[in-house]
A and B are shown apart, each in its own frame.
Chain A
């Protein structure tokens, strides 16, 4: 089926409304959260309307239906990234997924695979979202492990020139983003995975900005952990994904109901993965909504989604480069970059720019985008960010272009 953006837009009820006194909604903030197709909204709502019960317990029909829906969503998500269903853990978001991995490693018995000591190293990059930096900072502080990182070049790429001195024999974990949420840079994963595995380190990949936008196959990526959030991939908020092929060896993070095998007054043993990571009654309706989102993306075809975004990214960058005084912060070549474009416009502060373009119906993000060390490194206190998704069209880029020119007049 050919990808038709006009038809896609009809599936998203939010595009029926207008913004700021009747203007067309130009939504260029999908890097923060995506809009939702009706099928996702219905799936979440229908779960509550028709099937609501606590999964994995209860001897009644509703409990069976709820469990089928929840586990069905797990299988859909597994298929979406080329994984097996028992390798998929539902969390409340990508932030929790990353914290889960970091805390679980902190819970590892001394001497076991994931246990860290002051002799070990954790490697991140300078372009991490705070969610993939702070959990590792804190794990390093708790275990005495050393935190080191790959630096970012002035053109917004990862500097791998010192790869073998950054990832050393002592490195246990390499945690990094697949695609920068600020720069749009897609990182050279293959070389990093090869080096990490050479020294026996595990690779934790933050796929929040890639999984919604391109085909993902965990086997091809060859990483050990992968996380993404549901709400950036057309799904509801309150659900995220953790995938790993190593879940059996990883101790639990949150303890409680559902995650146990046996319990006495003094002790407990754990259910097999993924259950041992899903304590409590889970976010069932949200997982089911994410299942519907994955269905929607799969029906469109992730290759089609990706091609659409690549073409649109080229259009957007070409357009932005025509704006006087506009500087793109991050790669301008389309090689290994996604549809997230950060920029500055002369002396206009991003907040003021964002406010002006909003008055024209254009929604962008401004600030440091939860990657403060990165913006500091690049010497910009803040940027304006436009991030594209499958429902964006060329006229959205045109509207942003016109709005920026308008802002330049307004603040001249």
Chain B
């Protein structure tokens, strides 16, 4: 069934057992993003040290795609430099807009390649991107306030 390409086992696992859910007490930047068309929400805390992303924690409500996607991102983007993280976010964004033509590179995207099927369901792309766009926003804020330190 076509639906199985959307709801990969990895996604349902992250949805049921999300990583890094629960906001850290301190953070370099906190952002709150919503998907106004459906009401999905995510709050994301990002901490950085010496140009490295040290932690990404989050809380939110939403569908399995949005929640699994932010769970995956919160794991994948830790211990990356800002420019590495930017490149990963860009590659993921490109995958989401690929209309099913890309598989995604597991060396870069790890579990996030499981979300490749989302690109065939235009209404769900925003769900998958919610947490990643929140991260991008938080990263910019940290860079502008601290120069990435």
A interface, CB within 8 angstroms of B: 20-21, 349-352, 355-356, 359, 366-368, 372, 375, 381-382, 410-411
Tell me the bound Cα distance from A411 to B3 in angstroms. 12
- With A351-B127, A355-B124 as known contacts, state yes or no: A381 contacts B6, CB within 8 Å: no
B interface, CB within 8 angstroms of A: 1-3, 6-7, 12, 37-41, 61-66, 121, 124, 127
Does the CB pair B124–A351 fall under 8 Å?
A: yes
Q: B residues within 8 A CB of A366?
A: 38
Q: B residues within 8 A CB of A359?
A: 1-3
Q: Which of A351, A368, A375 contacts B63, CB < 8 Å?
A: A351
| CB pairs A–B below 8 angstroms (19 shown) | A20-B2, A351-B64, A351-B127, A352-B63, A352-B65, A355-B6, A355-B124, A359-B2, A359-B3, A367-B37, A367-B38, A367-B39, A368-B39, A375-B39, A381-B40, A381-B41, A382-B40, A410-B7, A411-B64
Does the CB pair A352–B3 fall under 8 Å?
A: no
Q: A residues within 8 A CB of B62?
A: 349, 351, 381
CB distance from A362 to the nearest CB of B (A): 13
CB distance from A155 to the nearest CB of B (A): 22
CB distance from B109 to the nearest CB of A (A): 22
- With A351-B65, A355-B124 as known contacts, state yes or no: A382 contacts B6, CB within 8 Å: no
Q: A residues within 8 A CB of B65?
A: 351-352
Does the CB pair A350–B2 fall under 8 Å?
A: no
Q: B residues within 8 A CB of A21?
A: 2
Tell me the bound Cα distance from A175 to B50 in angstroms. 56
CB distance from A374 to the nearest CB of B (A): 11
Does the CB pair A382–B39 fall under 8 Å?
A: yes
CB distance from A105 to the nearest CB of B (A): 27
Tell me the bound Cα distance from A355 to B41 in angstroms. 19
Residue from B7, B39, B61, B66 whose CB has the most chain A CB atoms within 10 Å = B39
Does the CB pair A382–B38 fall under 8 Å?
A: yes
Does the CB pair B39–A349 fall under 8 Å?
A: no
Q: B residues within 8 A CB of A372?
A: 39
Does the CB pair B1–A381 fall under 8 Å?
A: no
Tell me the bound Cα distance from A256 to B64 in angstroms. 50
Q: B residues within 8 A CB of A375?
A: 39
Tell me the bound Cα distance from A359 to B123 in angstroms. 14
The 7 A-B pairs at the shortest CB distance, nearest first, are namely A351-B63, A349-B63, A367-B38, A368-B39, A359-B3, A381-B61, A382-B39
Does the CB pair B1–A351 fall under 8 Å?
A: no
CB distance from A387 to the nearest CB of B (A): 17
Tell me the bound Cα distance from A410 to B40 in angstroms. 22
CB distance from B130 to the nearest CB of A (A): 12
Does the CB pair B38–A355 fall under 8 Å?
A: no
Q: A residues within 8 A CB of B39?
A: 367-368, 372, 375, 381-382
Residue from A351, A381, A411 whose CB has the most chain B CB atoms within 10 Å = A351
- With A359-B1, A359-B2, A381-B61 as known contacts, state yes or no: A351 contacts B38, CB within 8 Å: yes
Tell me the bound Cα distance from A368 to B7 in angstroms. 23
Q: A residues within 8 A CB of B12?
A: 411
Tell me the bound Cα distance from A154 to B59 in angstroms. 27
CB distance from B33 to the nearest CB of A (A): 14
Tell me the bound Cα distance from A366 to B65 in angstroms. 14
Q: A375 — nearest CB in chain B belongs to which residue?
A: B39
Q: A350 — nearest CB in chain B belongs to which residue?
A: B63
Q: B residues within 8 A CB of A382?
A: 38-40
Q: B35 — nearest CB in chain A belongs to which residue?
A: A367
Q: A residues within 8 A CB of B124?
A: 351, 355
Tell me the bound Cα distance from A122 to B10 in angstroms. 51
